[in-house]
C-alpha cells in the first residue's frame, strides 16, 4: 500500500493571485473596478516604481516595475495608490485559509501565491473541477481573481499558472513540455533571470529546448550544480514535495533602499550602508537570527546590478559587525559609477540560540573569564539535565516599523499555529 502511494502520480496546483495588490484595492473600493490603477511608492523620493498594476492599466502598456512618470505618460488617467500592506496581509491570509479547507498540504511561496498537493482529493472530483471550485470560491468570497496551474510537479504547475492570466486554469503534463515549453526563449523559464540567461546564451542555449537537450555533465561543468537543476526542470523533472513548513525556513535577512538621487559621494553611500546595516540588525534581533555571510547589492544609474559577499568565521547580528563588513566590501568593489540602489543582506542564518562562536587567538581572552561559569553550568546540567539552565531567556522581539519587510515572507508570521 505504501509503495502504491509512493509511486502514485502527484497532482499539484500552483495558485497565483492576479495583480494581487491592485485587485485587493479594487475589492476594497469597488468604484476602482474597471479603471486603470497602480500601487506605487513615493515619487518624491524617487521610489516611484509600480509595485503592481491592474489589467486595465496593462492594456494601455503599463507594467510592474515601470517608473511612475512613464506610466503616467502611457496612461494619463491612471490612478496611483500607496501600498496598504496590512490590507494585503488580511487578503492573503483569507486566501490561504480557503486553500487549507481542502488539505493541509498547502505551501505558501509568497504573499500572493502557493502550492497545493491535491493528489488525494481529485479522486472525488477531476483536477479541473477542483481547480474551478477553488478559483470560484476565491472570487466569490474574497472578490479576487486568481490563476491556477495543474501539473505533476511544482515547477510545471508554476509554469502552467503563468500561461493564462487573469482567471486562467491550465494543465501542463510532462508529455506536453516539448510542444508547449521547449520552443520558449530561455529567459521565459521560471527560475532564470537576466544574468543566467545571458550566460546560457553564451553557451549557445537560447531556448528551453536547447537547455533540455544538453547533458548533465555539460551543465555541471559550465554552470555548476545549479545547471543540473535547470536541466532537470527543462525536462519536466522536479521531485520537491509540497511542504507547508518550508516557507518559514528563513535563509537570509536583508534590506535595500533606492537613493533619492544617483549618488557618487563615498561619505553619503557609506552613511546609507550604515542605515541599512542597522535595519538588518534590527530584523535579525526581531527574528532571533544570526548568520556568517554579509552581502552588499549595488545598482548603478544604468540599472546594472552586482553583488559581493564575505563569509566570516563567526555569525554576526549587531549593526557594527554588519556595517564593518558591508563598508569594507563596498570600498573594495565599488567602481565609481553613480549608485541608484544599495542593499545589505546577512545570509545562511540560523536561530541565535544555536550559534556557536569559534575561538581563536584573537578572541580567546574574551571567553577565558567565562570558564568558572561554564564549569558551574556543566556540573548543573550533568546533575539535573540539559534543560535546567540556559544562558538567557529567549524572547521573541516585537518588530518595529524599521524591521518589517512587507515584500518578504514576514507576512506569514501570524499564520503560525
Angle at 183 between CA 150 and CA 179, to 5 degrees: 50
pLDDT higher at 234 or 399: 234
Asked, for residue 129, whether it belongs to a domain, the answer is yes
Asked, for residue 131, whether it belongs to a domain, the answer is yes
Domains contained in the chain, number: 3
Give the mean pLDDT of 16-42. Answer: 94
What does the pLDDT look like over 70-79, one tens digit per residue? 999 999 999 9
- Of the ranges 32-36, 179-183, 311-315, 350-354, which one carries the lowest mean pLDDT score? 350-354
Cell representation of residue 196? 543566467
Nearest alpha carbon to residue 311 among 297, 326, 329, 293: 293
What does the pLDDT look like over 143-169, one tens digit per residue? 999 999 999 999 999 999 999 999 999
Binding-site residues sit at 16, 112
Domain check: are 209 and 298 in the same one?
no
Question: What is the structure's pLDDT at 245?
Answer: 81
Integer Cα distance of 138 and 226 in angstroms: 36
Q: Which of 41-55, 82-96, 122-136, 358-372 has the largest mean confidence?
A: 82-96
Question: What is the structure's pLDDT at 384?
Answer: 53
Q: Is the pLDDT of residue 414 over 90?
A: no
Give the mean pLDDT of 202-209. Answer: 96
Tell me, yes or no, if 357 is annotated catalytic. no
Domain check: are 409 and 265 in the same one?
yes
Integer Cα distance of 26 and 33 in angstroms: 5
Q: Report yes or no: 211 and 236 within 8 Å, Cβ to Cβ.
A: no
Integer Cα distance of 232 and 226 in angstroms: 10
Q: Report yes or no: 182 and 51 within 8 Å, Cβ to Cβ.
A: no
Domain check: are 163 and 193 in the same one?
no
Question: What is the structure's pLDDT at 177?
Answer: 96
Question: What is the structure's pLDDT at 47?
Answer: 55
- What CATH number should be reported for the domain holding residue 350? 3.30.1490.100
Nearest alpha carbon to residue 141 among 109, 106, 99, 89: 99
Query: How confident is residue 136, by pLDDT bands cut at 50, 70 and 90?
Result: very high
Q: Is the pLDDT of residue 46 over 70?
A: no
Q: In percent, how much of the chain has pLDDT > 70?
A: 80
What does the pLDDT look like over 350-376, one tens digit per residue? 887 655 544 444 444 444 444 454 455
The domain boundary residue, chosen from 141, 172, 203? 172
User: In which domain, by residue range, is 49 found?
Assistant: 15-172
The active-site residue out of 113, 263, 282, 321 is 113
Domain check: are 202 and 106 in the same one?
no
Domain check: are 27 and 106 in the same one?
yes
pTM of the full predicted structure?
0.69
Question: What is the structure's pLDDT at 404?
Answer: 44
Nearest alpha carbon to residue 80 among 132, 21, 127: 21
Binding-site residues for Mg(2+) sit at 16, 112
Question: What is the structure's pLDDT at 65?
Answer: 85
Domain check: are 168 and 34 in the same one?
yes
What does the pLDDT look like over 301-348, one tens digit per residue? 887 878 899 988 888 999 999 999 999 999 999 999 999 899 999 988
Amino acid at each position: 500500500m505504501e509503495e502504491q502511494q509512493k509511486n502514485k502520480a502527484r497532482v499539484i496546483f500552483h495558485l497565483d493571485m492576479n495583480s494581487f495588490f491592485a485587485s485587493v484595492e479594487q475589492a476594497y473600493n469597488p468604484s476602482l473596478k474597471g479603471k486603470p490603477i497602480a500601487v506605487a511608492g513615493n515619487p518624491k523620493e524617487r521610489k516611484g516604481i509600480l509595485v503592481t498594476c491592474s489589467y486595465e492599466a496593462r492594456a494601455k502598456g503599463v507594467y510592474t516595475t515601470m517608473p511612475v512618470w512613464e506610466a503616467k505618460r502611457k496612461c494619463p488617467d491612471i490612478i496611483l495608490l500607496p501600498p496598504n500592506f496590512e490590507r494585503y496581509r488580511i487578503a492573503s491570509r483569507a486566501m490561504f485559509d480557503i486553500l487549507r479547507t481542502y488539505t493541509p498540504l498547502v505551501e505558501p511561496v509568497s504573499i500572493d501565491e502557493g502550492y497545493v498537493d491535491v493528489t488525494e482529493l481529485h479522486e472525488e472530483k477531476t483536477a479541473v473541477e477542483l481547480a474551478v471550485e477553488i478559483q470560484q470560491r476565491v472570487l466569490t468570497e474574497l472578490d479576487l481573481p486568481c490563476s491556477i496551474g495543474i501539473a505533476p510537479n511544482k515547477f510545471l504547475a508554476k509554469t502552467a499558472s503563468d500561461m493564462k492570466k487573469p482567471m486562467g486554469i491550465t494543465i501542463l503534463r510532462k508529455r506536453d513540455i516539448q510542444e508547449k515549453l521547449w520552443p520558449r526563449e530561455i529567459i521565459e523559464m521560471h527560475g532564470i533571470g537576466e544574468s543566467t540567461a545571458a550566460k546560457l546564451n553564451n553557451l549557445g542555449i537560447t531556448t528551453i529546448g536547447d537547455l533540455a537537450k544538453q547533458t548533465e555533465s555539460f551543465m555541471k561543468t559550465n554552470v555548476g550544480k545549479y545547471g543540473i537543476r535547470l536541466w532537470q526542470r527543462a525536462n519536466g523533472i522536479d521531485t520537491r514535495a509540497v511542504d507547508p513548513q518550508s516557507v518559514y525556513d528563513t535563509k537570509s535577512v536583508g534590506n535595500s533602499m533606492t537613493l533619492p538621487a544617483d549618488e557618487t559621494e563615498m561619505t553619503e553611500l557609506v552613511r546609507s550602508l550604515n542605515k541599512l546595516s542597522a535595519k538588518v540588525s534590527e530584523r535579525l534581533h526581531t527574528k532571533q537570527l544570526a548568520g556568517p555571510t554579509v552581502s552588499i547589492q549595488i545598482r548603478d544609474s544604468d540599472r546594472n546590478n552586482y553583488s559581493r559577499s564575505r563569509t566570516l568565521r563567526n555569525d554576526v547580528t549587531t549593526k557594527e559587525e554588519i556595517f564593518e563588513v558591508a563598508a569594507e566590501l563596498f570600498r573594495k568593489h565599488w567602481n565609481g559609477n553613480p549608485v541608484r540602489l544599495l542593499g545589505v543582506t546577512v545570509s545562511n542564518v540560523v536561530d541565535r540560540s544555536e550559534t556557536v562562536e569559534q575561538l581563536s587567538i584573537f578572541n580567546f581572552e574574551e571567553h577565558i573569564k567565562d570558564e568558572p561559569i561554564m564549569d558551574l553550568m556543566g556540573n548543573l546540567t550533568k546533575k539535573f539535565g540539559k534543560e535546567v539552565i540556559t544562558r538567557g531567556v529567549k524572547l521573541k522581539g516585537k518588530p518595529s516599523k524599521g524591521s518589517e519587510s512587507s515584500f518578504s515572507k514576514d507576512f506569514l508570521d501570524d499564520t503560525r499555529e
